[in-house]
Structure 1
Amino acid sequence: MECMEEGYLAKIVCGDGTKEIKVGEIIAITVEEEGDIEKFKDYKASSSAAAPAESKPQSEPVEPKEEKKEVSKAPEPTATKTEESSQSGDRLFSSPVARKLAEDNNVPLSSLKGTGPDGRILKADIEDYLSSAAKGSKKEAAAAPGLGYVDLPNTQIRKVTANRLLQSKQTIPHYYLTVDSRVDKLIKLRSELNPMQDASGGKKISINDLVIKAAALALRKVPACNSSWMNDFIRQYHNVNINVAVQTEHGLFVPVVRDADKKGLATIADEVKQLASRAKDNSLKPEDYEGGTFTVSNLGGPFGIKQFCAIVNPPQSAILAIGSAEKRVIPGAAEGQYEIGSFMSATLSCDHRVIDGAMGAEWLKAFKGYLEDPTTMLL
Structure 2
Amino acid sequence: MEIGMPSLSPTMTQGNIAVWRKKEGDEVAAGDVLCEIETDKATLEMESMEDGFLGKILVGDGVKDIPVGQPICLMVDTKDELSTIGDYKPSGGGDSSPPPPKKEESAPPPPTPKKEESKPAPSKPAPASSSPQSGGDRVFATPAARKFAEEKSVSLSSIKGTGLDGSIVKADVEDYLAKGPSPSEKPVSSTDQHVAGGAPPSGMAPLGDLDYTDIPNTQIRRVIAKRLLQSKQTIPHYYLSLELRVDKLLELRSTLNATLDASKKKDTPAKKISLNDFVIKAAALALKKVPEVNSTWTDEYIRQYNNVNISVAVQTENGLMVPVVKDADKKGLGTITDDVKSLAGKARSNTLKPNEYEGGTFTVSNLGGPFGIKQFCAIINPPQAAILAVGTTEKKVIPGLVPGEYDVGTFMTVTMSCDHRVVDGAVGAQWLGAFKGYIEDPMTLML
Q: Report the TM-score when normalising by structure 1.
A: 0.62
Give the drift of 1:286.
Answer: 1.3
Give the drift of 1:248.
Answer: 1.1
C-alpha separation in 1, matches of 2:419 and 2:408: 36
Partner AA of 1:253 in structure 2: M
Identity %: 69
What is the aligned-residue RMSD (CA, Å)?
1.6
- 1:326 partner SS: strand
Partner AA of 1:285 in structure 2: K
C-alpha separation in 2, matches of 1:312 and 1:203: 31
Please state if 1:160 is matched with 2:223: yes
Give the drift of 1:285.
Answer: 1.2
Give the drift of 1:249.
Answer: 1.3
Please state if 1:340 is matched with 2:403: no
Give the drift of 1:145.
Answer: 5.3
C-alpha separation in 2, matches of 1:265 and 1:220: 17
Give the drift of 1:200.
Answer: 3.7
Q: Output one character per residue of 1:273-327: Cα deviation in whole Å (capped at 9) or x when no partner.
A: 1111111111111111100000000000000000000000000000000000110
Structure 1 equivalent of residue 384 of structure 2: 316
Please state if 1:293 is matched with 2:361: yes
Structure 1 equivalent of residue 422 of structure 2: 354
C-alpha separation in 2, matches of 1:195 and 1:325: 21
Structure 2 equivalent of residue 249 of structure 1: 317
Partner AA of 2:360 in structure 1: G
Partner AA of 1:348 in structure 2: M
Larger Rg: 1
Structure 2 equivalent of residue 330 of structure 1: 398
- 1:178 partner SS: strand
Higher mean C-alpha displacement, 252-261 vs 149-158: 149-158
C-alpha separation in 1, matches of 2:348 and 2:320: 10
Residue pairs, 1:187-336, within 5 angstroms: 187-201=250-264, 203-336=271-404
Partner AA of 1:281 in structure 2: S
Structure 2 equivalent of residue 183 of structure 1: 246
- 1:159 partner SS: helix
Between 1 and 2, higher relative CO (CA 8 Å, sep ≥ 6) is seen in 1
Partner AA of 2:405 in structure 1: Q
Structure 1 pair 309–143 and aligned structure 2 pair: CA distance change class (3 A)? closer
Structure 1 pair 155–178 and aligned structure 2 pair: CA distance change class (3 A)? same
Partner AA of 2:344 in structure 1: A
Structure 2 equivalent of residue 101 of structure 1: none
Partner AA of 1:171 in structure 2: T
Structure 1 pair 161–329 and aligned structure 2 pair: CA distance change class (3 A)? same
Could you tell me which of 140, 143, 146 is aligned with 2:209?
A: 146
Partner AA of 2:219 in structure 1: Q
C-alpha separation in 1, matches of 2:422 and 2:402: 44
Aligned residues: 239
C-alpha separation in 1, matches of 2:445 and 2:207: 64
C-alpha separation in 1, matches of 2:206 and 2:414: 50
C-alpha separation in 2, matches of 1:144 and 1:308: 31
- 1:320 partner SS: strand
Give the drift of 1:143.
Answer: 10
- 2:286 partner SS: helix
* Runs of 5+ consecutive residues of structure 1 not aligned to the other structure: 1-137
Structure 2 equivalent of residue 368 of structure 1: 436
Could you tell me which of 168, 173, 196 is aligned with 2:236?
A: 173
C-alpha separation in 1, matches of 2:354 and 2:225: 18
Q: Output one character per residue of 1:28-55: Cα deviation in whole Å (capped at 9) or x when no partner.
A: xxxxxxxxxxxxxxxxxxxxxxxxxxxx
Partner AA of 2:437 in structure 1: G
Structure 1 equivalent of residue 46 of structure 2: none
Give the drift of 1:156.
Answer: 1.6
- 2:391 partner SS: strand
Residue pairs, 1:66-105, within 5 angstroms: none
Partner AA of 1:226 in structure 2: N
C-alpha separation in 2, matches of 1:223 and 1:314: 17
Structure 1 pair 302–143 and aligned structure 2 pair: CA distance change class (3 A)? closer
Q: Output one character per residue of 1:235-265: Cα deviation in whole Å (capped at 9) or x when no partner.
A: 0000000000000112110000000000000
C-alpha separation in 2, matches of 1:298 and 1:144: 35
- 2:411 partner SS: strand
C-alpha separation in 2, matches of 1:232 and 1:249: 38
Give the drift of 1:144.
Answer: 9.4
- 2:402 partner SS: coil
Give the drift of 1:226.
Answer: 0.2
Structure 2 equivalent of residue 110 of structure 1: none
Q: Report the TM-score when normalising by structure 2.
A: 0.52
Partner AA of 2:239 in structure 1: Y
- 1:190 partner SS: helix
Moved over 6 A (4+): none
